[in-house]
Structure 1
Amino acid sequence: MMVDILSAEIVSESEEAQASAVSWAAIIAGGFASAALTLALLAFGAGIGLAAVSPWMNSGISSRTFGISAGIYLCLVAIMASSIGGYLAGRLRTKWVGVHSHEVYFRDTAHGFLAWAFATVISVAFLASAAANIVGGGSGGFTQELGGKVGQSVGPMATFVDLALRSNPATTRNDAVESAAARGEIDRLFTSHLSAGEEFSPADRTYLAQLVAARTGLNQSDAEKRVSLVIAQAKGGLDDARKAGARFALWLTASLFLGAFSASLAATEGGGVRDGTWKYS
């Protein structure tokens, strides 16, 4: 009798050692659920106005407040979606028999973390473009439609080129070919210098002022002042974009860490419910 019991225990331990501790089906299911819920919540956020700042002056919230609100919502999305995915990964995994409670807790947290990692990879690989279209759909679609109507592409420096060449319509020379050539040259000068973070040389500033003077009718001194003003505005705009990108990266990092923690914690609850050891007080 004792021999049979010992043999059964040895066989059970051998099977446990050979069996995988990872339930990939539960992890994949939790990851897909988390990714789908993330997309749904991003769509909801866009619907309630967390996708764009109001174009009307003194209406809605400021861009800084909007950035903070969007960042907080991004963290909430990560917590909610990752918690659901982690809970499903823990609840749907196989039941481990003869495993210490500490090992069960570790495996549950690992399942939640792997579900979060799987959902993150899916979101980056397949859902990034869809989420970007949802978040920036309104303003992006309007820009593309406007660009199509005017018959030309709108580059990142087009606004500053317009500011540099702004003139009195009554005195403006109406040479479309020459105007397009001047705009293209100014655009290339701005793009090459500002994208590389280089200062405009005195020769480039003088040449830009000559182009502006020729197209607008300003004298050389006023044209140089306008060029200096537009360069300062362009640098300010790029610096604001850089700061906004840095803030978004910090919010994204925070949301990822919160999502990983939430998924791991929720998986322990799901696993406990699965094993009948979780008690709701």
Structure 2
Amino acid sequence: MTERTETLTRASAPAFAHEGSYVDWPAILAGAVVASAVGFVFATFGAALGLSIISPYDGDGSAMAAAIAVGSWMLWTTISSFATGGYIAGRMRRRVDGAGADEVGVRDGIHGLAVWGVGVLVGAWLLGMTAGTTVQATTEVAGAAATVVEEVAQVTTEGEAAAQVEATTAEAAEVSPAEARDAAETARIYSVISAFVLAASLMIAGAAAYWAASVGGLHRDEGRTFGHFGRWT
């Protein structure tokens, strides 16, 4: 890759100055849209990959293998999608003045970080909406369950109702209290690991978006067209 130089920067700079903002929001939004699309495609493929690894039958599949595969794919999806969006933003950013090579590279990289920030905020908002819907559904189920329990308590004594609930739960679930605690602890550990993997992948993705936007800006200054990918005749 050609290194960005002052000669290359001056040659590619426009002849006019810009007195407004240096932030090119159309380029940022375009990069964020592309990053979201790439992430959705990779996440869909990853979901199919995870379902192929996990098996409902005893002795088939491995929970640890599934966790490793999902974590690795999450890391790859996050980094590659934001890097793609960062490159788009850097390549599409308009040069508005004759700044030096280092300053141009920093501005391109910041546009990549802006793509990353927009993507993270949108993802957090969607996650919050999903969590809110889940909590609301859980509350409604809990309210219905409380109503049922109240009706049962009216026709049976407190001791008989407790014994009946315990017997029904044990018979339906067929899980001992020790097994239930072990399952809850395993779920907690996997949740902690998933949160750390997600946070690490987002931090790495931010750096990747900055770097990719700088590369995109350099290709913009070079006038690189990749014509052999778009010409079929």
- Please say whether Structure 1 and Structure 2 have the same fold, judged by a TM-score greater than 0.5: yes
TM range (shorter): 0.5 to 0.7
Once residues 60 and 45 of structure 2 are traced to their aligned partners in structure 1, the CA distance between those partners, rounded to angstroms, is: 21
Once residues 214 and 54 of structure 1 are traced to their aligned partners in structure 2, the CA distance between those partners, rounded to angstroms, is: 30
Equivalent residue runs for 1:19-30 within 5 Å: 19-30=20-31
Indicate the residue corresponding to 1:82 in structure 2. Answer: 82
Mapped pair 1:237 → 2:189: no
Mapped pair 1:120 → 2:120: yes
Aligned residues: 188
Indicate the residue corresponding to 1:271 in structure 2. Answer: 217
Secondary structure (helix, strand or coil) at the match of 2:176 reads helix
C-alpha change, 1:214 and 1:124, in structure 2 (3 Å) is closer
Backbone CA RMSD of aligned residues:
3.7
Shift of 1:72: 0.7
Indicate the residue corresponding to 2:71 in structure 1. Answer: 71
The answer to whether the 8 A contact 1:39-1:127 is kept is no
C-alpha change, 1:30 and 1:99, in structure 2 (3 Å) is same
Shift of 1:277: 7.7
Equivalent residue runs for 1:1-281 within 5 Å: 15-16=17-18, 18-49=19-50, 53-60=54-61, 62-126=62-126, 181=152, 211=163, 215=167, 230-276=176-222
Q: Calculate the TM-score normalised by the size of structure 2.
A: 0.68
Query: Unaligned stretches of 5+ in structure 1?
Result: 1-11, 131-152, 156-176, 183-206, 217-222, 224-228
Instruction: Give percent identity, aligned residues only.
Output: 31
Equivalent AA in structure 1 for residue 180 of structure 2:
A
The answer to whether the 8 A contact 2:32-2:115 is kept is yes
Q: Calculate the TM-score normalised by the size of structure 1.
A: 0.57
Once residues 166 and 74 of structure 2 are traced to their aligned partners in structure 1, the CA distance between those partners, rounded to angstroms, is: 49
The answer to whether the 8 A contact 1:109-1:267 is kept is yes
Query: Unaligned stretches of 5+ in structure 2?
Result: 1-13, 131-139, 143-147, 154-158, 225-233
Shift of 1:25: 0.7
Secondary structure (helix, strand or coil) at the match of 1:25 reads helix
Once residues 25 and 41 of structure 1 are traced to their aligned partners in structure 2, the CA distance between those partners, rounded to angstroms, is: 24
C-alpha change, 1:277 and 1:72, in structure 2 (3 Å) is same
The answer to whether the 8 A contact 1:50-1:69 is kept is no
The answer to whether the 8 A contact 1:93-1:271 is kept is yes
The answer to whether the 8 A contact 1:53-1:63 is kept is yes
Once residues 166 and 219 of structure 2 are traced to their aligned partners in structure 1, the CA distance between those partners, rounded to angstroms, is: 77
C-alpha change, 1:265 and 1:102, in structure 2 (3 Å) is same
Shift of 1:241: 1.2
Once residues 166 and 95 of structure 2 are traced to their aligned partners in structure 1, the CA distance between those partners, rounded to angstroms, is: 80
Larger radius of gyration: 1
Once residues 68 and 181 of structure 1 are traced to their aligned partners in structure 2, the CA distance between those partners, rounded to angstroms, is: 45
C-alpha change, 1:120 and 1:214, in structure 2 (3 Å) is closer
